[in-house]
Amino acid sequence: MRKLRMGMVGGGLGSFMGGVHRKAAALDGMIELVGGAFSSTEEKSKATGRSLYLNEDRCYGSFEEMILKEKQLPLGERIDFVTIVTPNHLHFEPAKMALENGFHVVCDKPMTLTVEQAKTIESLAKETGLLFALTHNYSGNAMVKQARQMIVNGDIGDIIKVQAHYLQGWMADELDEQASIKPWRADPTKSGIGGSLADIGTHADQLIRYITAMDITEIAADLGRIGEGRTLDNDGNLLFRMENGAKGSMTISQVAVGEENDLAIRVYGTKGSIKWEQENSTRLRVQFIGKPEQIYTPDGYGIYDNIREVSRVPKGHPEGYLEAFANIYKNFGTHLYTALENKTIEKPDYPTVHDGVKGVQFIYAAVESDKNNAAWTKPADF
């Protein structure tokens, strides 16, 4: 056994997500960052490397240089996988080149700008047999996994209704100057055709699909572009239908004044219901017909044994964003270890390239529906 070697694309000095990925990957001691192409120039990349105490020879000026030079190193030295933490428009090319040159991939969401690009990455992953993880980190939370297990086991009966929302308010302060917040988020050539849809809507979509173990089959979307000159959505309401006939609704917004990171989901079945809130992530509220509300906590009563293994701290202690993020890396790393040993794993528990395709199809279907006065639209058609 040895540590898995990670190379990073993006995540230079001042990058929030770069720091999150590095902390999450390191939390279980199984992954080591050994190099990267952290910025747009070699000088900036090396400056980031120095701040992380890395060998400057492995801090590259571009992802192309990193992939080609790492490929030339002996198997015992080269990186095992590439982590991509760049803005949306810089996901596709590094992911494609990494797969083409034999490297496994971890990528931020959304996976690509277009459905065509997403399907190209999916085909490459299938052809090469390489692993691909998408960091929808909220599905790494222990109580989210408990909710999924309860639904899969039929504890709350057949699913009949799903409600989800993801509300933030950080864009409301500068509605007339949204380009100054993060220029690429207001630019369709860099963010893609979805604004809040891509940033937070894909998280809600993946959470719904993960917890219910079902796909969304149709979407009717009414999107808002609030603020002068706004071209991408920053608010929206969606209705959706699921593969078993259940109906649902989703609300997303980044101009909801006063909200910080309010991601929540409610699933209603024929025997009971579950409620989970990201801002109170160690509590899963469960209501069965004719019984008082029950509150499940990590390592508490009624938790499935495989879920206890996901929780990292004793009950009653805070556990949240970073730990859930780390579970994605841990499960990916465990799967990668088995692949390196030429073994198989039954079903990896982390978002994969398939989730990446589903996420981009969700964005396209919602935008198309909105263009057609909230007409019902099938994500699979894109």
Q: Mind listing the pLDDT tens digit for each residue in 62-112? A: 999 999 999 999 998 999 999 999 999 999 999 999 999 999 999 999 999
C-alpha–C-alpha distance, residues 349 and 195, integer Å: 28
Question: Given this model, what pLDDT does residue 179 score?
Answer: 45
Longest dimension (CA), the chain: 65
C-alpha–C-alpha distance, residues 315 and 318, integer Å: 8
C-alpha–C-alpha distance, residues 285 and 296, integer Å: 6
Question: Given this model, what pLDDT does residue 180 score?
Answer: 52
Cis geometry, peptide bond prior to residue 110 (ω within 30 degrees of 0): yes
C-alpha–C-alpha distance, residues 253 and 260, integer Å: 11
- Given a contact cutoff of 8 angstroms between Cβ atoms, the answer to whether 138 and 109 are in contact is no
- Given a contact cutoff of 8 angstroms between Cβ atoms, the answer to whether 255 and 234 are in contact is yes
C-alpha–C-alpha distance, residues 323 and 312, integer Å: 7
- Given a contact cutoff of 8 angstroms between Cβ atoms, the answer to whether 205 and 212 are in contact is no
Which domains does the chain show, CATH number per domain? Answer: 4-138+328-352 (3.40.50.720), 139-302+357-381 (3.30.360.10)
Beta bridge partners of 163: 249, 266
H helical segments located in the chain: 16-26, 42-51, 63-72, 92-100, 115-128, 142-152, 188-191, 196, 202-212, 305-308, 321-340, 353-371
Question: Given this model, what pLDDT does residue 214 score?
Answer: 98
DSSP β-ladder status, 4-10 and 31-37: parallel
Q: Which two tokens stand for residue 169?
A: 């308010």
C-alpha–C-alpha distance, residues 157 and 164, integer Å: 19
- The residues of the chain scoring below 70 in pLDDT are 174-183
Question: Given this model, what pLDDT does residue 182 score?
Answer: 63
DSSP β-ladder status, 159-167 and 81-85: unpaired
Neighbouring residues of 288: CB distance < 8 A, sequence distance ≥ 6: 156, 271, 272, 294
Question: Given this model, what pLDDT does residue 181 score?
Answer: 55
Question: Given this model, what pLDDT does residue 192 score?
Answer: 95
| Cα of 57 vs its chain's centroid, Å | 31
Neighbouring residues of 198: CB distance < 8 A, sequence distance ≥ 6: 88, 109, 110, 191, 192, 363
Report DSSP state, residue 35: E
Q: At what angle do helices 202-212 and 353-371 cross, to 10 degrees?
A: 120
Question: Given this model, what pLDDT does residue 183 score?
Answer: 66
| Per-residue burial over 53-77, b = 16 or more CB atoms within 10 Å of its CB, e = otherwise | ebeeebbbbbbeebbeebeeeeeee
pLDDT digits (tens, 9 = 90+) for 233-268: 999 999 999 999 999 999 999 999 999 999 999 999
The torsion angles phi and psi of 78, rounded to 5 degrees, stand at -70, 160
C-alpha–C-alpha distance, residues 111 and 181, integer Å: 22
